[in-house]
Structure 1
C-alpha cells in the first residue's frame, strides 16, 4: 500500500471510529443476525444453521441486508462531514484532494467523484461538491450511468443545498449530511426496536412455552404485544388463510383489513409462521410470504414512516422527504451476491409523466409510502428468487462492536 493509500485508509478509520451512529447500526445488524436462524427454524423444522433454508426465507433474513445498506448511507454522511471539517482550515484545490482528505477510496470513491464532478457544473466549490459526492458514495453507480438520472439527482441535491440552513456553503452542506444521517439512524433504530424487539420477545415466549406446544391458536390466544388486539390478530390470521392462494397476493392492508393495527398484524404473522411449520410443502411458502408482508407493512407503514416524514421539521435539517426524492433513483439493496435495484424495479413500470427527459426512477420518492411499498414487495420477490444468495449474510461495517444480547 502506498503512503497516499495508507493516509486515506487512516483517515477513513479515524472517521469511522468517531461515528456513534455507525456503532449503533453495527449492533443492530448483528442483532438481526442473532434472530435470523432461530426464526427460520420456526418455519423450517429441518433448517440447519449455516446453510440456506429449503423453504421461503422469513422477514428476518432480509433485515441484516437492509440494515447494512443503511449503515453505508450513514458512513457516506460521516465521510461528507469529514470533508467539511477538513475544509474549514484549508480549502481543497480539487475534488480528488477533498475526497482523499475525507478518507474515500475504492468503489465509493468512484461514485463520489462522478457525483461531485457533476455538481461542480452547478457552481459548487471543490469541498462542497466532494462532501455531497461522499454523501451519495453508497449510491448505485449504474443508475447514474443514465445522464438524465445523474443530472436530475445532482440538480435536486444542489437545490436542496441552497434551501438548507447555514450561513456558508459548507454549513449548508453539513445540514444536508446531518439530515441523511439522522433519517437513517432513526429509521434503523425504529425498525429494530419494533420488529426486531417483537421477534426477540416471540422467540423467548416460544421457548418458555415449549416449542412443541406452540400452535397458531396458542399464539393468537397467549402471545401479546403492546397495542395489539387479540380479535384483530385473529381477523388478520383468518383473512390470510382465506386469501393465501390469491394471485396477486393481497398487500393493501389498510383497505383489506380496515381497523386492524400493525401490532395485531405482527402477532398474526407469527401465528402464520407456526402454520407454515406444519403445512404441506406446497402451502408453506405462501403462508410465509403472507406473514412477511404483514411484518413488512408494520415495518414500513408504522415503524419507519415517521423517520421519513416527521410531524414537525427537525432543527438544523433540510426537508427529509425532499432529500429522499433526490436519492431515490440511486437506491440499491445487496442481497448477498445479487442485488435489488430501484432502476430495475421502475423499468417494468409505466412512465409516470410521459416525458423522455425525465428517467423513470426520478419520478418516485422513497419517503412516500405509496411509492415505497410496491418497491419493497418487489425486493422480497428478488430475494425469494435467489434464496441461496440471500442467505450469504453481510458482515457488519464495524466487526469489533459486541453483539447485542437482546433487542
Structure 2
C-alpha cells in the first residue's frame, strides 16, 4: 500500500466545520450522551492512554510529543475512534437531509446536499453516488441521504466505475429490504443502523480494552519496580486466566520474530479466553521496555499489539458488526458494512490507510475483471477485517512518529446547536 503523507487534512477541517454549522430540529435536553458525545469522550480517553502506555515503552515521551518507538495498540486507538466519529458525523448529515426532505422535497441530489451545508469539496462524491442511486430508482432525497453516509470516507475508491456500480446496486438492494413503508422512513432505518453499529462498537471496545488499559496503568503506578513476571503474577483482569496469560507470553517470546508474525490466534490458542491476551500484552510491553535492541523491542510490541487487536476484533467488535438477532427497525449490519468496505479509510496521524489499497494488493478473489477487488471483501466478516488491520499495522510501523499526530475529537453538532 502506498502511504500518503499530508499536511493537516483539509477534508477533515471541512467536516469539522460542517459539524459546527449543522443545526438540530429539537432543543429538548437529553440526559443521555449522544453517540458523538460518547465518541469525543472515548477519543480523548484513548489519547490519554496512548501517551501513558507510550511512556512505558519510551520514557522520554511527553504528552503532546512524539516517539520513534514502535507504536502500541493504544497509539492506534484514538485514530480508529476518530474514524468512527467521522462515520457518525456522516449519519448526522444524512439525518439532516431526511429532516429537510420531510419539510419540502429537494429538486435534485445537488439541491439536497447544498441545503444541509455541504460545500463543493465535500459533496462531489455524495452527488456522484446519489445520481447513480436515482438512476436505480431511488427517490432524490433518499438517494442524497444514503450518499451522505460516505462524506468522510475514501471517495477516491469510486473512481473505479466497478466500485461505484456495485456500491449503488448494493445500496438500492438494501433500501428495498429496509423496514418501513415511506421512502424516507426506509432511508432512516439504514442511517440508524450505521449510527448504532459505530456507536456500539466504539463503546464495547473502549469499555473493555480502554478500561483494561486504565486498570493496568493504575496498578502499575502503585506497583513499584515492574517486571513482566510481576505483571503475569500480580495484575488481574476479570475473566482473564493467569495460566493462559503466561502461556501466551511465553509463546510470544518464542515466536516474535516469525515471518509472518503469528496472527491466527484461535489456532495457536484453542480454548483460550482472549481476555488473557490483554494481560500477556501488557507483560510483553514491559519486556519490550527493557529489550536490548530496537529490533527485539519492536517485535515484542507488535506481538502485544496483535494480542490486543485479536481481543478487540474477535470478541468485542464481531458481535456488534454481525449480531445474532437483527433489531426490527434496522437493516442487515453485515450487508451495510459490505457496502461501505471499499470506501473505508483511517488517518493514523500523517499515515493514511485505505481498505481499497489493501484489497488491490491481494490476489483477485473471484478472478472476474468486471468486479473490483475492494467489493469482494466485507468489514463485517472477521477474516476480512482482521487481515486488513494487520496490513494497516505493518504499514504504520514504517512511520512510527506519524501516529503521534493526534486527532481533534469531533463535536456533536446537535449538542453545539443546543446552546448548552
Task: Tell me which residue corresponds to 2:9.
Answer: none
- RMSD (CA atoms): 2.1
What's the counterpart of residue 392 of structure 2?
379
* 3-state SS of paired residue (2:222): helix
Decide whether the 8 Å contact of 1:80 with 1:132 is kept in 2.
yes
Structure 1's unaligned 5+ residue stretches are 403-407
SS at match of 2:328: coil
Contact 1:27 1:401 survives alignment (8 Å): no
* Contact persistence 1:337–1:392 (CA under 8 A): yes
Q: Is the 8 A contact 2:81 2:202 kept in 1?
A: yes
Alignment partners' CA distance in 1, 2:385 and 2:222: 37
Q: Structure 1 stretch 129-138 or stretch 227-236: which is displaced more?
A: 129-138
**Aligned residue number for residue 256 of structure 1:** 268
* Cα distance between partner residues in 1 of 2:25 and 2:85: 11
CA contact (8 A) 1:266 1:294 kept: yes
Cα shift readout 1:66-119 (whole Å, capped 9, x = no counterpart): 100101111111111111111112101111221123332354322211211211
Partner of 1:278: 290
Hey, what does 1:405 align to over in structure 2?
none
Within 5 A, what are the aligned runs for 1:230-269? 230-269=242-281
The correspondence of residues 39-58 of structure 1 with structure 2, limited to 5 A, is 39-58=53-72
After TM superposition, give the deviation of residue 12 of structure 1 in Å.
3.6
Paired residues of 2:20 and 2:411 also in contact (CA < 8 A): no
Which residue does the alignment assign to 1:366?
A: 379
Task: Check whether the contact 2:79–2:407 (CA below 8 A) recurs between aligned residues.
Answer: yes
TM-score where L is the length of structure 2: 0.90
Most deviating of 165-174 and 120-129: 120-129
Offset at 1:260? Answer: 1.8
Give the direction of change, closer, same or farther, for the CA distance of 1:250–1:74 in structure 2 (3 Å limit).
same
Matches within 5 A, 1:108-147: 108-147=122-161
Verify: 1:182 aligned to 2:215, yes or no: no
Q: Hey, what does 1:215 align to over in structure 2?
A: 227
Write the distance in 2 (CA, Å) between the matches of 1:32 and 1:245.
28
2:333 to 316, 320, 325: 320
Task: List alignment gaps of at least 5 residues for structure 2.
Answer: 1-13, 28-32, 416-420
Contact 2:94 2:146 in 1 (8 A): yes
**Would you say the 8 A contact 1:47–1:53 is kept in 2?**
yes
* Structure 2 CA distance for aligned equivalents of residues 250 and 140 of structure 1: 30
C-alpha deviation, 1:385, in angstroms: 1.1
Q: How far is the alpha carbon of 1:187 from its aligned partner? A: 0.3
Residues 1:153 and 2:167 are matched in the alignment: yes
Looking at both structures, which has the greater relative contact order when contacts are Cα pairs under 8 Å and sequence separation is at least 6?
2
Alpha-carbon displacement from aligned partner over 1:246-277 (angstroms, at most 9, x marks no partner): 11111011001112211100000000000001
Partner of 2:105: 91
Pair 1:64-2:61 in alignment? no
TM-score, reference length from structure 1: 0.93
CA distance in 2, matches of 1:157, 1:115: 10
The Cα offsets for residues 266-320 of structure 1, whole Å up to 9 and x where unpaired, read as: 0000000000011112310000000000000000000111110111111200000
Residue 104 in structure 1 maps to residue 118 in structure 2: yes
Alpha-carbon distance between aligned partners in 2 of 1:269 and 1:199, rounded to the nearest angstrom: 10
